[in-house]
Amino acid sequence: MEEIFKIKRLYELKEVERKGEINGRHETSAEHTYSCLILAKYFLDKIKQPIDHLKVMNMLLFHDVIEIESGDTFNLEHNDENSKEQELKEKESLKKLKNQIPLNMSKYFEKLFFEFEEMKTIESRFCKAIDKLDPVFHNLYGKKIWQKNGFNEKILRNNKEKYFKEFPEIMGIFEQILDYAKENKYW
């Protein structure tokens, strides 16, 4: 049963609430992960750069598992102090969590977590772009959510655009969403 409970620990991602909303309730990190996988599949078939599709899907599958321990981070006004605090929190969470999940997944999870955070490979940069696009995409029909959370074009560009520039196909969708938001008076 010990191994079963270690697998079950990963299911707790379904309980981590995010800021995004679905039908009057908060989206979970597991739902965000699913949406990221859908977006990744869409864009992997469109981008020109050579990229390891399986690695991308695995990295996205595990990219927010750390939130089982650390919780979700919502930070539109990104600053160094918040980043360092979050980094420390995530490293402590990683240390704790990697011993609570199956060993065969633990080493892989840890490796992918660091690769995702360091953004040195095309796969990790692609995954980060998808991770940053998903909340914008998710809230496309939630004008009130954008207004409630203070989203505007300047904030979205400052916090997201740098992740999309390497991938024109993703950048194009981002621009279309911003145009839609402007036309429909999201801000």
More confident residue, 178 or 26: 178
The β-bridge partners of 21 are: 26
Read off the pLDDT of residues 37-71 as tens digits, 9 standing for 90 and up: 999 999 999 999 999 999 999 999 999 999 998 87
Mean pLDDT (the chain, rounded):
91
Cα separations (Å) of 73 from 18, 46, 67, 83, 187? 8, 30, 8, 10, 23
Beta carbons within 10 angstroms of residue 46's beta carbon: 12
Read off the pLDDT of residues 106-165 as tens digits, 9 standing for 90 and up: 988 999 999 999 999 999 999 999 999 999 988 887 788 888 888 899 999 999 999 999
Q: Is the pLDDT of residue 186 over 80?
A: yes
Q: Which pLDDT score is estimated for 112?
A: 96
Distance in angstroms (rounded) separating the CA atoms of residues 28 and 42: 21
Contact 16, 67 (CB under 8 A): yes
Contact 63, 39 (CB under 8 A): no
Domain ranges of the chain: 2-183
Read off the pLDDT of residues 83-111 as tens digits, 9 standing for 90 and up: 777 778 888 888 999 999 999 999 889 99
To the question of pTM greater than 0.75 for the whole model, the response is yes
Distance in angstroms (rounded) separating the CA atoms of residues 160 and 158: 6
Domain 2-183 matching CATH 1.10.3210.10: the answer reads yes
